[in-house]
Chains A and B, each alone.
Chain A
Amino acid sequence: MKANISQESEYKDPNLDSDNKSQTNSVQYLSFALGKEEYGVDILRVQEIRSWEPVSRIPNVPFYEKGVVNLRGSIVPIIDLRERFNLKYAEYTLLTVVVVLQTSVGNKTQTMGVVVDSVSDVISVDKTKIQAAPDFGTKVSNEFINGLVSVNERMVMLLDVDKLLKLEEISQSDN
């Protein structure tokens, strides 16, 4: 259900966003839930939202890189954000959603999917209201977090999509 709602909003929002951008300082984020935490990604980076489907496993990669799927003819890696952030593992259900994100590495665009519990909303965020991320020192290292923002008394962590992908390069050398 939730997935449907946000899918709709995702479709009309890019226009809205560009209008807003030219007038105000507001940026739109797609927010999603991982357990009880709420995260947001820049909506312009979101290509589509899909339901979870079984992946083909890739051998000898970090556990949070679940595998690859066929996305209309191109091979797209799927990353479990819960596992990436060392949150408790959750069973995949019908509501489990894959957010397909676009990132740019160098001058080429890469596509990857991240598994999240559910997508919740599209939020407009005033740029000036974004707080710098404090050093959590806990589960999530704040290197992927651009900042924090409070929406309706809820705290949303804004993720840096490019850094999310960059972390793969780090894990590559770990291998």
Chain B
Amino acid sequence: MSIDMSQFHQVFFEECFENLESMESGLLNLDIGDIDSEVINTIFRGAHSIKGGSGTFGFTIVAEFTHVMETLLDEMRDGRRKVTQGAIDVLLGSVDCLREMLTSIQADQEVAEANVAKHKRALDMELNGVASEEPAPAKPATSPAPSASKAKASTEEFEMQEQGWNISFCPYLDLLKTGNDPVRMFRELSELGELTVTANIQDVPSIFELEPEECNISWNLIVSGSDIPLKEIQEIFNWVEGDCELDISANQVKVPKLVSVAAPEPPEEIAPIDEPEIEIKSEQLSPELKKTASTPSALATETDQSKAAVAKPSSSIRVDTAKIDALINMVGEVVITQSMLGLVGENFSMDKVAQLKRGLAQLERHTRDLQQSVMNIRMLPISFVFSRFPRLVHDTSTKLGKKIELKLVGESTEVDKAVVELINDPLVHLIRNSLDHGIEKPADRIKAGKPETGTIELKAYHRGGHIVIEIIDDGHGLDRRKLISKAIEKGLLDESAQLTDKQAFELIFMPGFSTAEQLTDISGRGVGMDVVRRNIQSLGGNIEILSDLGKGTTIAIHLPLTLAILDGQSVAVGQETYIVPLVSIIESINITEKMLNKVAGKGETFKLRNQYIPIIRMHDIFNVQPLATSKLGEGVIVVVEGQGGMCGLFVDDLLGQQQVVIKSLEANYRRVEGVSGATILGDGSVALILDVPGLVRFSNR
């Protein structure tokens, strides 16, 4: 029975990374001292599935590592161990380590064993070392035998002396539904040694009440034989862990000792002789802990690099089944309408016109619905991006010595997958800025009469056809005067310039601008904000800053919901039709000769509310044969804004507004200057979509 496991690898890795993410967010949500068992359970489940999966696929190094984590988590879950900040940091570090391991395995690279060993050591240290922190009542040595349950690591040595194992296996009702087969497990057990199975059938209901998919039987199993390692038995029961009650005990030992799977006995049992030794460990613990606490971010960068190096083999998307069902429904409707129309067309006579029209109207509605639901499939909740930020804030704020709380609002807001992928980097940058420049140090905050803990709110919501993402901090805000003087000092601004608040805040988007007094490794080099703005504009969005000195800053990003559809204004230039993105249009006006001015005899400008705006004649730059209209007075000026500048596009006529589906010109052709893409109009012909910022640049040459 050989199955090619590698076909499942992709899914396995995806699931693992998802689990890691949920573990990470769970760990960050853990309140020290106040243990929410649901959260710990979530983390535990994540670790458990990774362990199970990697065991199946033969990634033992991952499985072993996760096992140690699981042990630690299990003790926390049972309340046998306090949740300390140290433990959480170690676990977070381990999550990073796991992610790195999985990434290397995915890329067929060697796992950095030294790193793994380091984290494993930290985990072991946490597991065994913390014992001394507990009061550890000096119990008289009640267990004469070498304490069997001391720790996992030591089990193996003494297991060898056992003559066999008693296993009490009491599955829960739904064991069979999870795909586990007890018979198979027994067969494997029988391969280890002589197996005696006693089934306990007293819970089996009468035949009429019997639910064949439920498991009502429990078993007592005795495996006899020498040299059976506990590990192998545990491995067999690996998958059913959590779906059954399981007790494995050693047979034929004077004092039978209970060893429960994945849960060593509480550390109180440790013989007092061991105590001094442990004390030393706990001293060693603190430097080790510090080390691990500082490693996560370093690890994170490493992982990022290796991720970048690996070309993603395929990109997949998880879609809610409900969405697919809706889609299938819709397709069904379309097919019905189509056959209905076919019927009408077969023996067409004029008295069927009304029927035809009805059919066409139906088809139109279904097509629109269909389009919408197909678009919906590409939509992902923004939480895909947001979920990474608690970690970022946690790590960065510790590093900066600030107390910061991150609030996420509107995580379920849906946005196109492509937008989700591209918005991550700009957001990371903006949040780092808020952390570093926005929020003050705790002492300064208290001085300013603000709560010691700063707040950063990350908010997403829909407005119109756009998604708005806001980053709101309650830090000290942008200082208008400081910005202006800095800009003048750097020669980016003329001294006599009069700026509105908005214009002053816009200064931070200028390349080479930074107000941070000193550089940190987080921010302050003056690169970034201009890149952020460029990235957001390339997505067809814009970015806006509102700031109140002393109270905080709000940065709002407006993005189109999807990159595949755009609201456009079609304009006529000569015989040709072009599409201007509606977002970039400020207004369209008929102009009169009076408003025109020539600059240096060449360029033309016109005056719009006390502002001179350059005019781009579309006929000229696109070499279009003009119709009769060549005088400026007889066309329309579409005033557009692009990359900080305004300009007027001179066109012959406005044709109408419509939603257009963006098609790539580059797929079969190449980039064309001044054009961002193409679309197909209602009559089947192709119209080009104007790239407004590009056009502004192009015309300036």
Listed in ascending order, the chain A residues whose CB lies under 8 Å from chain B are 54-61, 67-70, 73-77, 110-112, 168-169, 172, 175
Q: Are A112 and B685 in contact (CB-based, < 8 A)? A: no
Please give, as numbers and ranges, the residues of chain B lying within 8 Å of A59 by CB-CB distance: 621-624, 672, 674-675, 688
Interface of B is mostly: loop
Q: Are A57 and B576 in contact (CB-based, < 8 A)? A: yes
Q: List 5 A-B contacts (CB under 8 A).
A: A75-B665, A75-B669, A76-B668, A76-B669, A168-B670
Q: Mark B673-688, 1 if CB is under 8 A from A, else 0.
A: 1110010100011111
Least Cβ distance of B276 to chain A in Å? 66
Within B618-673, the residues touching A (CB, 8 Å) are: 621-624, 663-665, 667-670, 672-673
Q: Are B680 and A60 in contact (CB-based, < 8 A)? A: no
In the complex, the chain A residue whose C-beta lies closest to that of B625 is: A57
Q: How far is the CA of A6 from the CA of B674 in the complex (A)?
A: 39
Least Cβ distance of A76 to chain B in Å? 5
Q: Count residues of chain B with CB under 8 A from any CB of chain A.
A: 23
Q: Are A74 and B668 in contact (CB-based, < 8 A)? A: yes
| B668, B669, B675: most-surrounded residue (chain A CB, <10 A) | B668
In the complex, the chain A residue whose C-beta lies closest to that of B574 is: A57
Please give, as numbers and ranges, the residues of chain A lying within 8 Å of B667 by CB-CB distance: 74-75, 110
Q: Are B670 and A75 in contact (CB-based, < 8 A)? A: no
- Contact partner of A77 among B663, B668, B684, B688, CB < 8 A? B668
- Contact partner of B688 among A58, A69, A175, CB < 8 A? A58
Please give, as numbers and ranges, the residues of chain B lying within 8 Å of A70 by CB-CB distance: 680, 684-686
- Contact partner of B663 among A54, A74, A168, CB < 8 A? A74
Q: How far is the CA of A61 from the CA of B672 in the complex (A)?
A: 8
Please give, as numbers and ranges, the residues of chain B lying within 8 Å of A69 by CB-CB distance: 686
Please give, as numbers and ranges, the residues of chain B lying within 8 Å of A112 by CB-CB distance: 668-669
Q: Are A75 and B678 in contact (CB-based, < 8 A)? A: yes
Please give, as numbers and ranges, the residues of chain B lying within 8 Å of A169 by CB-CB distance: 670
Q: Are A75 and B668 in contact (CB-based, < 8 A)? A: yes
Q: How far is the CA of A24 from the CA of B298 in the complex (A)?
A: 62
Q: How far is the CA of A150 from the CA of B624 in the complex (A)?
A: 44
Please give, as numbers and ranges, the residues of chain B lying within 8 Å of A73 by CB-CB distance: 663, 680
Please give, as numbers and ranges, the residues of chain B lying within 8 Å of A57 by CB-CB distance: 576
Please give, as numbers and ranges, the residues of chain B lying within 8 Å of A68 by CB-CB distance: 665, 669, 678, 686
Please give, as numbers and ranges, the residues of chain A lying within 8 Å of B673 by CB-CB distance: 60, 175
Q: How far is the CA of A175 from the CA of B670 in the complex (A)?
A: 12
Q: Are B668 and A111 in contact (CB-based, < 8 A)? A: yes
Q: How far is the CA of A175 from the CA of B672 in the complex (A)?
A: 10
Least Cβ distance of B489 to chain A in Å? 41
Q: How far is the CA of A78 from the CA of B576 in the complex (A)?
A: 17
| B622, B672, B684: most-surrounded residue (chain A CB, <10 A) | B672
Question: What 7 A-B pairs come out closest when comparing CB atoms?
Answer: A59-B622, A56-B686, A77-B669, A70-B680, A110-B668, A75-B678, A75-B663
Q: How far is the CA of A169 from the CA of B666 in the complex (A)?
A: 12
In the complex, the chain A residue whose C-beta lies closest to that of B663 is: A75
Q: How far is the CA of A13 from the CA of B115 in the complex (A)?
A: 60
- Contact partner of B670 among A67, A111, A172, CB < 8 A? A172
Please give, as numbers and ranges, the residues of chain B lying within 8 Å of A172 by CB-CB distance: 670
Q: How far is the CA of A168 from the CA of B671 in the complex (A)?
A: 11
- Contact partner of A60 among B623, B664, B668, CB < 8 A? B623
Please give, as numbers and ranges, the residues of chain A lying within 8 Å of B688 by CB-CB distance: 56, 58-59
Please give, as numbers and ranges, the residues of chain A lying within 8 Å of B680 by CB-CB distance: 70, 73, 75
In the complex, the chain B residue whose C-beta lies closest to that of A76 is: B668
In the complex, the chain B residue whose C-beta lies closest to that of A169 is: B670
Least Cβ distance of A100 to chain B in Å? 10
Q: How far is the CA of A68 from the CA of B624 in the complex (A)?
A: 16
Least Cβ distance of B661 to chain A in Å? 9
Q: How far is the CA of A68 from the CA of B699 in the complex (A)?
A: 23
Please give, as numbers and ranges, the residues of chain B lying within 8 Å of A75 by CB-CB distance: 663-665, 667-669, 678, 680, 686
In the complex, the chain A residue whose C-beta lies closest to that of B623 is: A59
| A54, A74, A112, A169: most-surrounded residue (chain B CB, <10 A) | A74
Please give, as numbers and ranges, the residues of chain B lying within 8 Å of A77 by CB-CB distance: 668-669
Please give, as numbers and ranges, the residues of chain B lying within 8 Å of A76 by CB-CB distance: 668-669
In the complex, the chain B residue whose C-beta lies closest to that of A103 is: B668
Q: How far is the CA of A60 from the CA of B624 in the complex (A)?
A: 10
Q: How far is the CA of A172 from the CA of B622 in the complex (A)?
A: 16
Q: How far is the CA of A49 from the CA of B576 in the complex (A)?
A: 26
Least Cβ distance of B367 to chain A in Å? 14
Within B407-423, the residues touching A (CB, 8 Å) are: none
In the complex, the chain B residue whose C-beta lies closest to that of A172 is: B670
Q: How far is the CA of A172 from the CA of B670 in the complex (A)?
A: 9
Q: How far is the CA of A146 from the CA of B147 in the complex (A)?
A: 84
Please give, as numbers and ranges, the residues of chain A lying within 8 Å of B576 by CB-CB distance: 56-57
In the complex, the chain B residue whose C-beta lies closest to that of A56 is: B686
Q: How far is the CA of A57 from the CA of B573 in the complex (A)?
A: 12
Least Cβ distance of B696 to chain A in Å? 16
Q: How far is the CA of A54 from the CA of B575 in the complex (A)?
A: 13
Please give, as numbers and ranges, the residues of chain A lying within 8 Å of B675 by CB-CB distance: 58-59
Least Cβ distance of A167 to chain B in Å? 12
Q: Are A56 and B685 in contact (CB-based, < 8 A)? A: yes
Q: How far is the CA of A12 from the CA of B20 in the complex (A)?
A: 54
Given A68-B665, A75-B663, A75-B678; A56-B670 close (CB under 8 Å): no
Add 12 more A-B contacts to A56-B688, A58-B688, A75-B664 (CB < 8 A): A58-B672, A59-B621, A60-B673, A70-B684, A70-B686, A73-B663, A74-B663, A75-B680, A110-B667, A110-B668, A111-B668, A112-B669
Please give, as numbers and ranges, the residues of chain A lying within 8 Å of B669 by CB-CB distance: 58, 68, 75-77, 110, 112, 168
In the complex, the chain B residue whose C-beta lies closest to that of A77 is: B669
